[in-house]
Amino acid sequence: MFRQWVGLLEKEGWKITMRETEAAVPEEISDRYPAPAAWAAFIAPVSECVSGDGKVRFLTFEDYQTQRDGFRWNEPELRSTEAAGNDHEMRAAVTGFWNYHLPIVHCTGDPYAYYAIDTQFGSVVYGEAPEFETAEVAAESFEQFIQKLIDGAIKL
């Protein structure tokens, strides 16, 4: 499945850089989320994965540690927190949502959107601006998400 996914993205003009050494889930992520093993194993060999136009990025371990090309791994959460302003109840709701949703793909086109793993249920959800926390299930699992990408049922 991994090779099919890489092949598909490369065919569509994505820039994919494979890492030369082993990597582990960054502490910032493992401390906050029970990172699904299937996702961690799948993304571990990749150090960068960005569409040809630069508007879509599969988040890699490096993305969770640094800001690259204007991407912050938790950009939707940061935007929602900022929009909540001093409304403590709204800020708590935003944090509550993101404590269980690990962003794995950022889309900065129109609409600004993301895919995230729901760490409570294992599904992959899709949400977009301005209501990032109003997400819908895109796939029942990470594996199903990748298969839907390969099959063309989900387009990035």
Buried b (16+ CB within 10 A) or exposed e, 78-105: ebbeeebeeeeeebeebeebbebbbbbb
Share of the chain above pLDDT 70, in %: 97
Q: For residue 69, what pLDDT band results from cuts at 50, 70 and 90?
A: low
Q: Is the dihedral of CA 26, 49, 5, 97 positive or negative?
A: positive
pLDDT in tens, 109-130: 889 999 999 999 999 999 999 9
Which class is 2-151 in CATH? Answer: alpha beta
CA gap 85, 58 in Å, rounded? 29
Residue ranges of the domains in the chain?
Answer: 2-151
pLDDT in tens, 27-67: 889 999 987 888 998 999 999 999 999 999 999 998 888 76
Residue 68 has pLDDT above 70, yes or no: no
Residue 98 has a pLDDT of: 96
- The partner residues of 49 in beta bridges, in order of sequence, read 16
Q: Are 134 and 121 in contact (CB under 8 A)?
A: no
